[in-house]
Amino acid sequence: MLNSRTPQRAALLIFLVAFATIAGAWIFEYYGYAPCELCLKQRWAYYTGVPLALIVSLIAPRQPGLAKAGLAVLTVLWLGSMVFGIYHSGVEWKWWPGPATCTAQAGFTGGLPDLSKPAVLCDTPAIRIFGLSLAGWNAVISLGLALVALAGLRRAQGSSSVSQ
């Protein structure tokens, strides 16, 4: 599957990996690892990318031009998700400041916090796996998904120029 990455297979691989990733995030949340504000925003790429990748995989054989456009969008989407994951990881490692509303330095300038919800700080990782927080893993997975989309896009461009 990796060597013969047609646009359809690339999109299907993106769908499967992205779906498994967001499902994993939901499982972590179910077992008590509450997401912070930045974690929830990182999920937006998955909520967009999963259905888009499925649609691209379904239309690729019949509409190669549209599939190319979809793979281009997926490439940009996952690169953006990677950058956001790096940003959040940097906040967790205290390399740069995060949003004032969800870091340990958060004050009460905006009023009292909502005490009905657990306080989850963006600069404190809930868990590290092999040294990376979930935000770090999001960056790694997003880079991989962007590379798969780019490879599928390059394959689509190569095959369209040959057939003309």
81: CB partners within 8 A, 6+ apart: 42, 45, 46, 49, 138, 139, 142, 145
**pLDDT tens readout for residues 118-164:** 567 778 778 788 988 889 999 999 999 999 999 998 887 665 444 43
- Whether the predicted model's global pTM rises above the 0.75 cut: yes
Q: What is the pLDDT of residues 11-57, one digit of tens each?
A: 999 999 999 999 999 999 899 888 888 888 999 999 999 999 999 99
Q: Across-strand partners of 132? A: 129
